[in-house]
Amino acid sequence: MTYLPGLLDTEAIRKDFPLLDRTVHDGKKVVYLDSAATSQKPRQVLDAMGEYYERHNANVHRGVYTIAEEATALYEGARDKVAAFINAPSRDEVIFTKNASESLNLVANMLGWADEPYRVDHETEIVTTEMEHHSNIVPWQLLSQRTGAKLKWFGITDDGRLDLSNIDEIITEKTKIVSFTLVSNIMGTHNPVEQIVRRAQEVGALVCVDASQAAPHMVLDVQALQADFVAFTGHKMVGPTGIGVLWGRQELLEDLPPFLGGGEMIETVSMHSSTYAPAPHKFEAGTPPIAQAVGLGAAVDYLSAVGMENIHRHEQAITGYAVKRLLEVPDLRIIGPADAEDRGATISFTLGDIHPHDVGQVLDEQGIAVRVGHHCARPVCLRYGIPATTRASFYLYSTPAEVDALVDGLEHVRNFFA
Amino acid sequence: MTYLPGLLDTEAIRKDFPLLDRTVHDGKKVVYLDSAATSQKPRQVLDAMGEYYERHNANVHRGVYTIAEEATALYEGARDKVAAFINAPSRDEVIFTKNASESLNLVANMLGWADEPYRVDHETEIVTTEMEHHSNIVPWQLLSQRTGAKLKWFGITDDGRLDLSNIDEIITEKTKIVSFTLVSNIMGTHNPVEQIVRRAQEVGALVCVDASQAAPHMVLDVQALQADFVAFTGHKMVGPTGIGVLWGRQELLEDLPPFLGGGEMIETVSMHSSTYAPAPHKFEAGTPPIAQAVGLGAAVDYLSAVGMENIHRHEQAITGYAVKRLLEVPDLRIIGPADAEDRGATISFTLGDIHPHDVGQVLDEQGIAVRVGHHCARPVCLRYGIPATTRASFYLYSTPAEVDALVDGLEHVRNFFA
Amino acid sequence: MYQEVILDHYKHPHGRGLRDGDAEVHHVNPTCGDEITLRVRYDGETIADVSYEGQGCSISQASASVLNELLVGKELGEARKIQAAFLELMQSKGQLEPDDAMEEVLEDAVAFAGVSKYPARVKCALLSWMAWKDATAQALSEGKTA
Amino acid sequence: MYQEVILDHYKHPHGRGLRDGDAEVHHVNPTCGDEITLRVRYDGETIADVSYEGQGCSISQASASVLNELLVGKELGEARKIQAAFLELMQSKGQLEPDDAMEEVLEDAVAFAGVSKYPARVKCALLSWMAWKDATAQALSEGKTA
Ligand SMILES: Cc1ncc(COP(=O)(O)O)c(C=O)c1O
Ligand SMILES: Cc1ncc(COP(=O)(O)O)c(C=O)c1O
């Protein structure tokens, strides 16, 4: 077995993840290298949700009976856990949504309907980057179409970094919001938050950080980021599907208008008019994802017990090893940073002119699960003039042996299509 | 034991619902009479979700590896099941949302951003009713504020029915959309769909039916309803939290614009512009509630196996018995229809001048879980000049013995505050 | 949670009804529809009267009655201490065991300790106290007290 | 799914390259970036040529090659039957066991039966066939064929 400094005790960790025992294609053990799409879930998270449904299931808020009080305490307790996990100044700044996409749409819509000084309209500009997930592009395109605001973006350098050389022309006095990803979901790039935030603050623009690929993998401290909004998603951080988070600065959440209307988000309703509950409830219309919040609470407990610093160190070790081994494969070209510096454990590549679909399919026959396609980041593929990539992504349960399996698998792919 | 014709074999059914074995307050068995807020979940639904997470968890669509194909088949299979459950002409008409509130907001937003002939603007009118859940009021208030459209509504009669006497003045040539609930969540009233749909069709208005309190309890046939949109929510129909449904007529879903933007809902994205996937994907931005869809699929399987007609008959029997027994309690006043005709198994009442909070709390001490408050239908409380009600709601697992426990509990409440 | 003391205050409220005051406020608990209209009258630094009217559950009604009993006749500074102590007790989530010192300050109001375990009811217990605080601030800003 | 026949067509495609045609279409599979530009040329009712260029996975490439081999020289009616049979096979979710009759019609294309089990790849296999159908409709509407 390959020894790398910084590795976690994956033998112990893998016991918590039932799916990692799965076999496919006549007994081949799954090598799951698609955690950037969604992570696997530990028993602890599944048990927390099971326990909720079997013992404490009731609708939250307003119930005066025991089980409803318990359900409310569990749901709001999950909010406390998430707030602590991201070092939020206040629990009331943590909004539960259905996924990161809803979180980002929520920000875009709040700003579209806001009063001054936040209002995005035809005289203002929105800034994003070419490196974004579609979920951080399309909401801004829609906002731009609906308000007339101009959409601008940062490009990408040849080695997969944000090109900030023209930052003063991109972010200007007209900019109302700058929204960018902390970690690229296709190339793994870590982006320089500080420089962007500094410029945004200079011109008085708000900053929204898409932390979907960061929250699962490193310490996320919303105060240190100095952003105004931070979005992420539960299913990528060992939590369940069906829940996302938007953190927002309290005074903004107070000032900005609601998005979805309905039960739970109101203070008082008459047919003529309604007033809204204070944040976070103002932004949580309808029955919330109660069991999923409980699951996400258990997920951050799990991650915290392992330690986000330790997880980060583990992934750095794996990434360094994977980059080195992948570059040994003939005709393999890494799309994005081709080293282990300032990057996460997500590596995209092309393999000669073998189409990624074929790479993925032949890897699957060996039990290796990678993702192929544009990874909801088609502008990156356009930028590099490729139709798609093959992407391997690692997490706290990934091992050097799995890197080796991938490299062997790729050799087999090459021979197969030679 | 009380024998009533039409009852289900609740002894067998209750074995499927782990929570119904829960005890509170030193061993008192829970009498769960709050299914209108959220239903309990059978083991079959929990197992389906557990199985998904433990064996098939992957992000859906586009994956070429085995587990991703399985996850996609399970997710899309759930859509097939829901489509069959509501007799949808096409599976592509079934959109998964996070809850009924999102479904209703989705309709309101589609119409706000639509082109003619659907567009809601300051020259048009929106119609709803005084009997709605806040989730079918606030989205329309927001739409009205944002577009200038006029919001109109049907009132309620003294005995808890919709007052349609002025239907021709309420629904006019200016009306673009009529949105109303099939079954009231506070009074249990069943509303006369046909008459409203006929008038809406006469003037060319679209019809949106909030079936949140109908889908769990009776055969829901979207074709028979002749509505354009039908919304409901998973957690009330023995499914998980975190998932809702919007059914919409195919040609409308084709014509109407998207709401949330992001991954999964696109066809192709460049920084300059994007095109959208066909429905239902156009309306499902981001990673969908995959496990929750699987759970909802298992829920409709469960309900179908028992039989929606049988469930309806069971609830009618329980409702008849409950109305009769409740009216024996001195000072008890039913808010809503005071008989078992054209109503569901949800009964709101007041008890002299004992505040519902006190009623609920003292019932809880006996293990009886009812909901108290305005039940997210404050206009109904305003209509009857009461601050709140106590609401008991029944489902396929409810028994006549639980009705008796409630009636005994209410006697205790009266003595306690006498 | 339904201590005898609470039920007594509920059934036989102290000082209920609206009388003359220096300031009046109307507070609502939107989640349950509890409402109170409350007036304060000051005589220099002394609370001359707290009068109120409203509808609500036994907890909110009893709490207003206890408030009237406790605060009328007290100096403002003293009343504020009592209000703070009651607030602390209600936010204690059932973790605070009232001791003699607390009982000295809160008298009958210690009976509400049990209510603090029920988050949904804490607001009911606090409704009149928040209204009193608000009315007092209003009276002060209008310079009715010294 | 990677039958020898498919790999052969992938590595040695038939009729690849763009040549003169009566109509040209460009089709894209947005989920994987597969693209094809395809031209058809008719000689009365007979398909004189199907020429194409594009990028994509082995399945989409091989499928275009098979299409060329199968359709060129056929009458339009016959070609439509083949196209319908191929579509049916690809939508069979692996449930259709190709028999002799089918093999008669589809020849090499029966090798794609295994692909039908992989929903993500069915679109790849159909890309060129949809393009051909579209190009033919276009050629027809422009009256290039009889
Ligand atoms: C009639 C009605 N409509 C809408 C809703 C909203 O459903 P959800 O809270 O799941 O969004 C409910 C339940 O809360 C309801 O009873
Ligand atoms: C960087 C990034 N942003 C946003 C998203 C969207 O998350 P979700 O699909 O959970 O809404 C993803 C993942 O899909 C992502 O990787």
Tell me what percent of the residues of chain B surpass a pLDDT of 70: 100
Q: What is the pLDDT, as a whole number, of residue D145?
A: 53
Report the distance separating Cα A182 and Cα C21, nearest Å: 58
Band of pLDDT at residue D144, cut at 50, 70 and 90: low
Active site residues of A: 376
What integer pLDDT is reported at residue C144 of this predicted model? Answer: 55
Band (pLDDT 50/70/90 cuts) for residue C129 is very high
Q: Which residue has the tokens 């957690």?
A: B235
Atom of ligand 2 lying closest to residue A183 CA: 1
Mean per-residue pLDDT, B277-306: 97
Q: Which two structure tokens, joined as six digits, stand for D118?
A: 């992989």
Query: With contacts defined as CB-CB under 8 Å, which chain A residues touch D10?
Result: 417
Answer yes or no: are the C-beta atoms of A191 and A131 closer than 8 Å: yes
Closest chain B C-alpha to C14 CA, distance in angstroms: 18
pLDDT (mean) for B158-175:
98
Separation between Cα atoms, residue D25 and residue D52, nearest integer Å: 10
| B357, B374, B386 ranked by CB distance to C57: nearest | B357
Angle at A49 between CA A44 and CA A52, to 5 degrees: 125
Which of B99, B104, B191, B378 has the most ligand 1 atoms within 8 A of CB, as the residue to mutate?
B99
Over residues D33-57, mean pLDDT: 93
Please give the Cα distance from D115 to D120 (Å, whole number): 9
Residue D94 to residue B94: CA distance in whole angstroms: 26
d(CA A184, CA B295): 32
**Angle, alpha carbons D96-D80-D57 (nearest 5°):** 65
Q: Which of B263, B105, B276 is nearest to A210 (CA)?
A: B263
Q: How many CA atoms lie within 13 A of A124 on its CB side?
A: 23
Integer Cα distance of A169 and A171 in angstroms = 6
Residue A220 alpha carbon to ligand 2 centre in Å: 16
Q: Does A64 touch chain C (CB under 8 A)?
A: yes
- CA distances to A100, A122, A226, B364, C27 from A114, in Å: 21, 14, 21, 43, 29
Look at the block and give the residue holding tokens 């289900």. Answer: B8
pLDDT, tens digit (0-9, with 9 covering 90-100), for D116-140: 988 888 999 999 999 999 999 999 8
The answer to ipTM > 0.90 is yes
Residue B79 banded pLDDT, cuts 50, 70, 90: very high
Burial of D38 (0-12, 13-18, 19+ CB in 10 A): buried
pLDDT for the residue numbered C63? 96
pLDDT score at C145: 53
Confidence category of residue B129, pLDDT binned at 50, 70, 90: very high
pLDDT tens profile A18-46: 999 999 999 999 999 999 999 999 999 99
Ligand nearest to the CA of B103: 1
Touching check for B94 and chain C: CB below 8 Å? no
- Alpha-carbon gap, residue B389 to A367, rounded angstroms: 58
Q: Which tokens hold the place of B364?
A: 């809880």
Using CA of residue B202, residue B207, residue B211, residue B213, what is the dihedral sign? Answer: negative
Q: What is the DSSP string of B254-279?
A: HHSPPSS-STTSEEEE-SS-EEEPPT
Per the DSSP assignment, residues forming a β-bridge with A155 are A163
Q: Which residue of A has its CA nearest to D1?
A: A361
| DSSP string for residues in A287-332 | S--HHHHHHHHHHHHHHHHH-HHHHHHHHHHHHHHHHHHHTTSTTE
Name beta bridge partners: B391.
Answer: B348, B371
Average pLDDT for A72-89 = 98
Question: For residue D132, what is the enclosing H or E element?
Answer: helix D119-141
Q: Which of C28, C29, C31 to mutate to test the interface with A (most CBs of A within 10 A)?
A: C31
How high is the pLDDT of residue A136?
98
Contact A200, A184 (CB under 8 A): no
Give dist(CA A254, CA A279) in Å, integer: 7
Pick from A25, A358, A381 the residue to mutate for testing the D interface (most D CBs within 10 Å). Answer: A358
CB contacts, 8 Å: C12 with chain B: none
Say yes or no to pLDDT of B92 above 70: yes
Length of chain A: 418
Q: E-strand spans in chain C?
A: 23-29, 34-43, 46-55
Which ligand is the nearest neighbour of the Cα of B98?
1
Q: What is the mean pLDDT of chain A?
A: 97
Helix (H) or strand (E) holding B363: helix B356-365
In three-state secondary structure terms, B368 is strand
How many A from CA of A408 to the centre of ligand 1? 53
β-bridge mates for residue B28, sequence order = B24
Q: Do chains C and A touch (3 or more CB pairs under 8 A)?
A: yes
Chain C interface includes A273 (CB < 8 A): no
- When CB atoms are compared, the residue of A262, A270, A368 closest to B104 is A262
Please determine, for residue A2, whether its predicted confidence score (pLDDT) is greater than 90. no
Structure token digits, residue B284: 């499902």
- Tell me the DSSP string of A192-226: -HHHHHHHHHHHT-EEEEE-TTTTTTS---HHHHT
Closest atom of ligand 2 to CA, residue A103:
11
- State the distance from the centre of ligand 2 to the C-alpha of B286, rounded, in angstroms: 7
For ligand 2, residues with CB inside 6 Å are A 99-101, 133, 135-136, 181, 185, 210, 212-213, 233, 244, 376; B 263, 286-287
Question: Going by C-beta distance under 8 Å and a sequence separation of 6 or more, which residues neighbour residue C13?
Answer: C61, C62, C64, C65, C68
Q: What is the mean pLDDT of chain B?
A: 97
Please tell me the distance in Å from C62's CA to the nearest CA on chain B.
Answer: 12
CA distances from B276 to B218, B254, B288, B327 (A): 35, 10, 16, 56
pLDDT the model gives residue C30: 72
Q: Is the dihedral of CA D129, D135, D140, D143 positive or negative?
A: negative
Tokens 């749901």 belong to which residue?
A: A75
Distances (CA, A) of C21 to C43, C47, C49, C133, D2: 10, 10, 8, 14, 89
User: What is the tens place of the pLDDT at every residue in C58-108?
Assistant: 999 999 999 999 999 999 999 999 999 999 999 998 888 889 989 999 999
Give the rounded percent of residues in chain A with a pLDDT score beyond 70. Answer: 100
DSSP notation for B70-135: HHHHHHHHHHHHHHHHTT-S-GGGEEEESSHHHHHHHHHHHHHHPPTTT---TT-EEEEETT--GG
pLDDT exceeds cutoff 80 at A62: no
Share of chain A above pLDDT 90, in %: 96
CB of B381 within 8 Å of a chain C CB? The answer is yes
Out of B63, B73, B267, whose CB is closest to D30? B267
What single letter denotes the amino acid at residue B387?
A: P
**What is the average pLDDT score of chain D?**
92
pLDDT reading at C143 higher than 80: no
Token code pair at residue D126? 């159909």
Place of tokens 């990692």: A20
Half-sphere exposure of A159 (CA within 13 A, CB side): 9
Residues of chain D with C-beta less than 8 angstroms from the C-beta of B72: 119-120
CA of A139 to the centre of ligand 2 (A): 13
Integer-rounded Cα Rg, in Å, for chain B is 22
pLDDT above 90 (res A285): yes
The per-residue pLDDT of chain C, averaged, comes to 92
| A128-141 mean pLDDT | 98
Quickly state the pLDDT bin for C146 (edges 50, 70, 90).
very low
